[in-house]
Each structure stands twice: as structure tokens, then as C-alpha cells.
A and B are shown apart, each in its own frame.
Chain A
């Protein structure tokens, strides 16, 4: 998986998208969460889903670099802070300092980014991360916040 195939039937014209971003994670995380974005907003084409399944560290890094080169993406969302996609994204950042990495991304994160993708990458990513953080709530547990 290395393209926005997960965007499904709601896919728009990617050429019209101002800012694109990569979503990289374990298994079908990226495909699944991008399909959810597409279902909710019809703008799944903003994201390029990437899976680390079956890939070594070098392969993941190479895939991220290829997708950045092909799409012009300036933001990489990853699932786990300790994950191999995050490690690979940080390696990319070393010689591509304009790339912003957001770890621990969830659906709320990506939904927010979709509507701010035209902003500078750092601002859009920070705003999206704040939204994702705020979306985590516990309901029904005593003392939960």
C-alpha cells in the first residue's frame, strides 16, 4: 500500500489538493483511518496511506521518501511514537527539515488536518495534533476525564 487507494469512492482530484500528507502505520491502520476520513469528508485524497507491513526499516524510509517526492507532502502522520514508521519519518526529517512529523495520530487529527491543509505545514500539523489530543476522552469510568 503506497497510494491513496483507501480513499474509496469519495476520492476527489488529487491535483487540486493544496497540501497533502502521508499517513503511515502498522497493518491497515493508514488505509482504515483514511477511508474513514473519506467517508466523513469526501476528502480522503488529501492523504497517502502507507503500511509498514512486511517492510524493514530501510524499505519504510525509502517508501516515505518516494511518496514525499511524488506528492509534495510536507506532513507525515504516524500511529505509534515508538513505531518503525515514526523512526523512518524522523530519519527523513534529518535531511528534509521542512517535513513535519505527528505521532499518535487518530481520526480526529486527520479530520482537522483536512480542513487546514492549505495552511503552512507546521501550523496545520500542530492544530491537528491538538484536536486529536482533545478527542481522547473516557466516558463512564469513575474519576475519568
Chain B
């Protein structure tokens, strides 16, 4: 689904890691892990086409626009913007060609799936961090993208939100979508069947996530 060849990314023209070769197949789930500043979010933005790589090439079987959906971190969203939660979520239908009533039905279902029906008329300013995160995930759910790139999707979610998130991630995998997520929750990830991609200055390593969980001390992923 996605292939990276000799990919290098970073800020100010300085690469954060040695060149990365990576293959992500349809239905795969890859968790990008690493310390702060290692370039996890930057890698996601490069794959999403939001930033240019310093070197290398990314090939993707689906078109970037519409085929790849991106969940930004919460701080990129203006919490004081004067719209309601339902309007924020409905932006996920940006590229949809459905009719108005079908869009309304899909929106209602997604709001229900993420436990947001009671909050749909709330302004963004009135939402908690966890509620806003669920709204952003609901917006992502509305896209028909085959590749989902999630930057810290677990941020601010409570136990109910986390359960909903992982139910959706498993469903998206069953549908054959390719998922890449950035996470700091190595312990939580190890309960799920996914690959890990450790991003570090010395180089990137891809392996089953449980392997990283077992060796996190040696890899410097805990204090």
C-alpha cells in the first residue's frame, strides 16, 4: 500500500534519522514510537504529503487527496473557533459525493459510534480534551480514506474513549485499511497485534511491538 525508499525527513535541512526503507501493507497497523523530538510526527506529516521529505521517495497505491486521512494533534485545532461539534465532525465528509440526507445519516451514525450524540450541539470551547479528541477521531471515521495516519490518537482519552478507539482501529484493519499511529503508550500497545517502528537518531527499527515492550529499557524508551 505504501512504500518508502531512502526516506529522510527533518527540520532546517537536517535529517533526523538515517535513510528509511519501509513497506506498509493493506490492513497493517504500525505504531511509530520513539523519544520526544525523534521525528515521529514529522514522519507522519511527510507520509501524509503535508511536509516534503529531505530525501527519498514515497509511493502510495491510493491518491494522497482522499486516499490518505490524517489525524492532527489537538493543539493544531483552534478550540475557540465558533462552530459546533457536529460541524467539526462533518468536515470528514469533505470529499464525499453522497446526497444531503445520506450525509446526515452517516454523520448521525458516526456521532453515535463515538458517543457524541449528546454533545453534537456544543461549541468546541465547551468540550473537554477527551471529547474533542473523540470528535477528531469521528471526523476521521467519516473519510473513506484507505490509509489512516493518526498522530497520538490516544491523547486525553479516558477508558471508554480508548476502548472505542481500539474497536475502530480493529474494524478499520478488518476493512483492509492501512494504519500508522504515533504513540507514547508502549505498554498499552503491547496488548494489541501490531508492528512497531522505532524512530531514533541512530536508525529506525521495525519489529513486532511486543519485542519493543520487552526491550524498552535497553532501547531507552523509559527513564
Partners in one complex: no
List residues of B whose CB falls within 8 A of some A CB.
Answer: none
